[in-house]
Structure 1
C-alpha cells in the first residue's frame, strides 16, 4: 500500500512545472553540446579521480571532448553504485534514448555520437527545458555581469558576491568593480556607493536574490563606513592588508550587502560551511569539503539586525541541518534552502527532509534546487528529490498522521514550487 501511495504522490509531483532557485547555468550556453559537457560535471571528474583516474588524464590541456569521455568511462564501473551515475543514466535514457543498463567501454561511443546529433538540433535548449518541466532558472551571476543577451524572464539574474566580500584585496577584483560601476573608488563611502550601483543594475534586470558562499569561520558583524574607512583607503592605495584588516573589509562589504538587500527587498542566499582547497591536488571543483565546526551562532547578529531580509540558508551536513531547523523554527527571516552538495544524496535528503517537514513552518521551506551547470541535470536531480519527498509524504504524513493523499500532495507542491514563488517574488 505504501509503495502504491508513494508512487501516486510521486506522479503528481512529477507533473509539477518548476522554478529552479539556484543554478550555475550560463544563459548564453545553457544546454550541453557533447556528452563531455555532461560527464565533465565535477561530480564525475572528482569521483573518477578518487577511484584512480589520474588528474592529468582528466584535465589534459586541449583534450578532445570524445577522448575525455572515453577516459572517464573506464572508471564508471567503479562508480555505478553512486547516485551521481544514476543521474547520468537518467539523462542518457530520457534525452538520448539509451537502452542499456550501464555505460561501458563497448557502448559509449555510439551513445556519444547519438547525443551529439541530438544536441546539435537548433532547439535543443528548448527541448530540454520542456522535457524537464522548467519554467524559470535562477542564475549565479558575477557582480560585473552586464546581464545582456539572454531572456531574463526565463533565466533569472542573481547577484553572486563572493569576490566582493573575500577577494577585494585582488587588484583584478577592484578593477572589475570600478569598470562595472564607472566609479573612482578609494574610500569606504565610495565603495559602499559602488555596491549600491550593482544592486540597482541587478534589480533593474529582474534579479530576485543576492547570494554568497561562506567559509566556516566567517562571522558577520556590523562594520560601518567610518570604522572601515582607513583600511579601505589603505587597500586602494595598494597596501597589503593584515589578516585582521582583510577581515574588517570583508565584514564591512558583507554588512553593506545585507543593508542593500533590505533596501531593495532582495532575499540574501547564504551557503554556509565550505572550506576551499582542502584537497589541493584534486581536480577542478573537486578540492572543497565541509567543516563540522560551522555554527549558525556566528550569524545571530545578522539575523537579529535585519528582520525584514529573508535569508534562505543552505548547509552541508545533517548536523548543521538540525541547527538550521532550529534557527528557522525561531527566526521568522531564516528559511531552509535545498539540499546542498555533500548532502545531496537520497540518504541524507531523506533524513534532513523528515526533520524539516516535522518542525519548520511549511511556508519557510524551499525543498530543492539543482545547483546544475548544464540544463540536462535538472531532470534527474529534481526526480531524485521528488522520489524522496513522495516517500516521506506517504509514510510520515498520510500513513503515520492520517493526512489525506491530496493534502500531502499540496504540501509537496508548496515546498517544490509555491514557496519559491512567494520567497523570491517570482
Structure 2
C-alpha cells in the first residue's frame, strides 16, 4: 500500500463517528480526574507489575493518585516498546500538550500537572468525547443497577450477566436478584419471571445489549429443567453445589437469558474463552488469561436455537479468530466483535481484520 493511499484511508476513517461497544466506564463520573485514572488502568498496572513493580506498591490502601503515578512512571522506561505506552504518549500529546517522545521517571511530574489542569476544566468530559469522535459509549451494568442519574443516550446501558449465570450459589447474588426484581429465586419458573423483570427494567432505560464473559469449558445446551430445579430447590445461604448441579443451573440461566434476548430483541454479546484467576497474585484485573481449549463448536446449538438473536462474539486469541470468521461466514446471527483484551495488539488486529474483511459480510463486523 502506498503512503498516499494509506493516508487517504486513514483520513476517511478519521471522519467516522465512533460507538464504543464495550467499556467499564462509570457514567456518573465518566471523565478522568488525574493521570492516575489512566495509568492506574490494568493495561498499565499489569505491565508495570510484569516489569518488576510489586503489586503491594500498586494497590497499597490509601495511596494518593500522584504517588501511584510516581511509582509507576519509572517502569515506563522498560515499557516504551509496547503499544500501550504509545497510546499513553499519544493521549498526553493530544489532550495535555505533551511534546516529548517518552514519559518516565524524568518528566512524569510535569505531565501529571498538565493533565490535572486540563482535567479540572468544566468541559473536560465533552472535550474527550468530541475530540475522540465518540457518539455513544456502551456500559457494563450489573443486573441490579438502578440505571438512574445519567444520559442513557450517550452512556448506553448493557446488562452484564456473569453473576447470574455463574454465581447463583452465592447468597448475596440471590439477595440482589430478589431486591431488584421482587422475585425470590426457587426454581426455573421464578428465574424466568425475575429475568423478565430485569429485561423490562433495562430496556425501559435504553439498554441495547446483554453481555457475558465465558470460560473455555462452558458449553451452552438446551437445559435439563429437572436437574436445574433440583439444584435450585436446595439453595440455602452460600450453597455448595456439585459440579453437575452448578452446570445444570448455569445452562438453565444462560438459555433463559438467550430466550429473553429473543423476546426483548436484544443482541447477546459473548466474550468467549477467559480463565479467571490464573495468576491470583496479579494486580486487579491482571489475573485472567486464555488457553486454546476454546471452540465455537460448543456454541453451534445455541446459534441454531436462537436464529433471531444476534450474537456479537469476541475471542481472546488470534488463534481463535479464524474459527470466529468461519462461524460469522456461515451463521447469519454471528457477528465478529472487536479485538478483546489480549488480542488488542496491532500485530494481531491487522491479521485478524484482514481475514474478517475478506470473508465476512461487511455489515456483520464490529470494530
TM-score range, shorter chain: over 0.9
Cα distance, 1:333 vs. partner? 0.7
- Distance (whole Å) between structure 2 residues aligned to residue 238 and residue 42 of structure 1: 30
Aligned Cα root-mean-square deviation (Å)? 1.2
Indicate whether 1:32 and 2:32 are aligned: yes
SS of 2:137 mapped into structure 1: strand
8 Å contact from structure 1 (residues 188, 226) kept in 2: no
Cα distance, 1:224 vs. partner? 5.2
8 Å contact from structure 2 (residues 25, 139) kept in 1: yes
- Distance (whole Å) between structure 2 residues aligned to residue 236 and residue 246 of structure 1: 14
Cα deviation 1:169-221 (Å, max 9, x = unaligned): 11110110000112232222112210111011001111110000000000001
- Distance (whole Å) between structure 1 residues aligned to residue 92 and residue 10 of structure 2: 21
Cα distance, 1:56 vs. partner? 1.0
Structure 1 unaligned regions, length at least 5? 368-426
Q: Where does residue 47 of structure 1 map in the other structure? A: 47
Indicate whether 1:347 and 2:365 are aligned: no
Cα deviation 1:206-264 (Å, max 9, x = unaligned): 11100000000000011154442121111257652111101111110000000000001
Q: Where does residue 403 of structure 1 map in the other structure? A: none
Greater alpha carbon shift after TM alignment, 74-83 vs 119-128: 119-128
SS of 2:77 mapped into structure 1: helix
Cα deviation 1:380-413 (Å, max 9, x = unaligned): xxxxxxxxxxxxxxxxxxxxxxxxxxxxxxxxxx
SS of 1:235 mapped into structure 2: coil
SS of 2:233 mapped into structure 1: helix
8 Å contact from structure 1 (residues 327, 334) kept in 2: yes
- Distance (whole Å) between structure 1 residues aligned to residue 346 and residue 336 of structure 2: 17
8 Å contact from structure 2 (residues 118, 124) kept in 1: yes
- Distance (whole Å) between structure 1 residues aligned to residue 263 and residue 226 of structure 2: 20
Q: What does 1:72-221 correspond to in 2, within 5 Å?
A: 72-221=72-221
8 Å contact from structure 2 (residues 272, 313) kept in 1: yes
Taking structure 2 as the reference length, the TM-score comes to 0.98
- Distance (whole Å) between structure 2 residues aligned to residue 195 and residue 185 of structure 1: 10
SS of 1:113 mapped into structure 2: helix
Q: Where does residue 287 of structure 1 map in the other structure? A: 287
8 Å contact from structure 2 (residues 170, 237) kept in 1: no
Greater alpha carbon shift after TM alignment, 95-104 vs 223-232: 223-232
Taking structure 1 as the reference length, the TM-score comes to 0.84
8 Å contact from structure 2 (residues 89, 102) kept in 1: yes
- Distance (whole Å) between structure 2 residues aligned to residue 46 and residue 237 of structure 1: 35
Q: Where does residue 257 of structure 2 map in the other structure? A: 257
Residue 61 and residue 15 in structure 1: after superposition, are their counterparts in 2 closer, same or farther (change >3 A)?
Answer: same
Cα deviation 1:73-92 (Å, max 9, x = unaligned): 01001000000000100110
Cα deviation 1:1-35 (Å, max 9, x = unaligned): 71110111101111211111111111011110000
8 Å contact from structure 1 (residues 216, 294) kept in 2: yes
Q: Where does residue 302 of structure 1 map in the other structure? A: 302
Comparing both structures, which one devotes a greater share of its residues to helix? 1
Cα distance, 1:64 vs. partner? 1.0
Q: What does 1:388-407 correspond to in 2, within 5 Å?
A: none
Structure 2 unaligned regions, length at least 5? none
Report 1 or 2 for greater relative contact order, CA contacts < 8 Å, sequence distance ≥ 6.
Answer: 1
Residues matched between the structures, number:
367
8 Å contact from structure 1 (residues 308, 333) kept in 2: yes
8 Å contact from structure 2 (residues 271, 315) kept in 1: yes
Cα distance, 1:113 vs. partner? 1.1
- Distance (whole Å) between structure 2 residues aligned to residue 362 and residue 238 of structure 1: 47
Greater alpha carbon shift after TM alignment, 225-234 vs 58-67: 225-234
- Distance (whole Å) between structure 1 residues aligned to residue 345 and residue 184 of structure 2: 47
- Distance (whole Å) between structure 1 residues aligned to residue 316 and residue 240 of structure 2: 33
